[in-house]
């Protein structure tokens, strides 16, 4: 069923091409206006890519990642006033999308909540004021301050930029003597495909290292009321770069533990004044209870939206769009099955061979295999989610079956790499993910 939208009635702040492709059967032709930074339009060849998406009517250049004046934008682009919903396409569009929605009188996260959830320090202060469990934390301005914090925490700490996503710049430091050498990777984490070249300001947050199982909570909220909640089990890389390597929906936790996570996520939403949209929060279940890791006021990445749609037999992303349009969409209270994604992590070097893909696709339960590399590509160390080499998506009757199917299929895929390539050789990533609206 197509969403009832006219031309230019959905505004996406920041390009999310995988999401737009997935919405191709849901949205009418010409219903989407895509706003993007001028340098990203050029760098990512968005004019050509958007021309291949019938639902996109036009691409508007707008500088929004370091601050947007909605009134000035509307004066320059008066047609945007016809929008019926505004959504962020990616993390760096969250605040601007909330501001434009507010200016148009449309449902959205609200600017205050958007600012809280795009600044990890503000998020920590908000959670602390609400009585939620935080790790010990401090905003640190120099390597010396971070080193002192690590020593106070028994020699270990987490360093992370306050305004980045996808695990970019997040490091677990195991020795205070290593802080100075690691500092730059968090203080100046470098460019990503979705960040403007103009530079995104950030600070550095030092945090206590927590021990426990990792989970995320996805809430669909409308006018401050939670209409749907899911708990996802997370798998992350061991060592100093805790990049996510897989997810399973629903969580295999007992019901009381799952409900506890849903409750603390709902308390966080209330504390921030979050109004309408999807809230994706991450938690570690410690001996003292669920401790907050991070939270985003947008759709989750890493195919979690697709996993929810498969496990609950629903359209999670369409329900999100309906909520942003002012509706109260009904979603199932319980899953009917399970779904999992396992990410492919190739060793650094130049890809010389990719084997086992056909065998992986034949594993019972596998829904999709996506590759992000091909022969000749250069693979670098996995320090953020953008550096993974592909993924396997699978379903099952329960979390164990879905997780097992994804892991078995991923284990059949062999990405062979050799020595580093000559200068100028192509570096991944390429777009590999299946539609987020499954």
Pick the CATH number of 210-324 from 3.30.470.20, 2.160.10.10, 3.90.199.10, 3.30.380.10: 3.30.470.20
Q: Could you read off the pLDDT of 192-203 as tens digits, one per residue? A: 778 888 888 899
Q: What local confidence, expressed as pLDDT, does residue 61 receive? A: 97
Kindly indicate the confidence band of residue 421, based on its pLDDT and cuts at 50, 70 and 90: very low
Q: In angstroms, what is the C-alpha Rg of the chain?
A: 21
Q: Could you read off the pLDDT of 34-56 as tens digits, one per residue? A: 999 999 999 999 999 999 999 99
Domain residue ranges of the chain, discontinuous segments joined by +:
10-106, 136-207, 210-324, 340-418
Class of CATH domain 340-418: alpha beta
Q: How far apart are the first and last CA of the chain?
A: 14
SS (H, E, C) 103-164: HHCCCCCCHHHHHHHCCHHHHHHHHHHCCCECCCEEEECCHHHHHHHHHHCCCCEEEEECCC
Kindly indicate the confidence band of residue 432, based on its pLDDT and cuts at 50, 70 and 90: very low
Q: Could you read off the pLDDT of 330-372 as tens digits, one per residue? A: 999 999 999 999 999 999 999 999 999 999 999 999 999 999 9
Domain spanning 10-106, CATH architecture: 3-Layer(aba) Sandwich (3.40)
Listed in sequence order, the residues at least 6 apart from 52 whose beta carbon sits closer than 8 Å to its beta carbon are: none
How many whole angstroms separate alpha carbon 325 and alpha carbon 320? 9
Name the CATH superfamily housing domain 136-207: ATP-grasp fold, A domain (3.30.1490.20)
């Amino acid at each position: 069923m197509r969403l009832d939208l006219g031309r230019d009635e959905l505004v996406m702040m920041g390009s999310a091409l995988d999401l737009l492709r997935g919405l191709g059967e849901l949205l009418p032709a010409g219903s989407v206006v895509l706003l993007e930074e001028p340098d990203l339009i050029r760098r990512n060849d968005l004019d050509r890519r958007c021309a291949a998406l019938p639902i996109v009517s036009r691409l508007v250049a707008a500088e929004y990642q370091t601050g947007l004046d909605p009134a000035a934008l509307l004066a320059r682009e008066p047609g945007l006033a016809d929008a019926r919903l505004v959504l962020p396409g990616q993390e760096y569009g969250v605040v601007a999308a909330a501001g434009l929605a507010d200016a148009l009188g449309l449902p959205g996260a609200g600017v205050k909540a958007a600012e809280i959830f795009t600044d990890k320090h503000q998020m920590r202060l908000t959670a602390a004021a609400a009585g939620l469990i935080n790790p010990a934390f401090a905003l640190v301005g120099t390597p010396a301050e971070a080193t002192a914090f690590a020593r106070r925490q028994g020699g270990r700490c987490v360093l992370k930029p306050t305004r980045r996503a996808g695990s970019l710049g997040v490091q677990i430091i195991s020795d205070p003597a290593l802080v100075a050498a690691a500092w730059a990777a968090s203080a100046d984490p470098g460019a990503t495909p979705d960040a403007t070249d103009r530079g995104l300001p950030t600070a550095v947050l030092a945090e206590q290292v927590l021990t426990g199982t990792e989970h995320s909570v996805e809430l669909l909220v409308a006018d401050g009321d939670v209409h749907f909640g899911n708990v996802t089990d997370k798998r992350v890389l061991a060592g100093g770069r805790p990049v996510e390597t897989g997810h399973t929906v629903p969580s295999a936790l007992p019901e009381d533990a799952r409900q506890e996570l849903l409750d603390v996520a709902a308390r966080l939403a209330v504390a921030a004044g979050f109004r309408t949209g999807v809230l994706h929060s991450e938690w570690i279940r410690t001996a003292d209870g669920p401790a907050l890791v991070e939270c985003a006021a947008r759709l989750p990445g890493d195919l979690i939206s697709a996993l929810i749609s498969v496990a609950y037999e629903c359209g999670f992303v369409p329900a999100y769009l309906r909520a942003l349009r002012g509706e109260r969409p009904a979603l199932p209270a319980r899953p009917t099955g399970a779904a999992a994604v396992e990410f492919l992590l190739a060793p650094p070097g130049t890809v010389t061979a990719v084997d086992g893909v056909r065998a992986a696709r034949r594993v019972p339960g596998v829904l999709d295999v996506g590759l992000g590399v091909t022969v000749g590509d250069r693979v670098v160390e996995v320090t953020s989610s953008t550096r993974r080499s592909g993924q396997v998506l699978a379903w099952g009757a329960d979390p164990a079956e879905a997780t097992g199917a994804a892991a078995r299929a991923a284990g059949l895929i062999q990405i062979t790499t050799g020595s580093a390539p000559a200068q100028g050789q192509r570096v991944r990533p390429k777009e590999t993910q299946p539609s987020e609206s499954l």
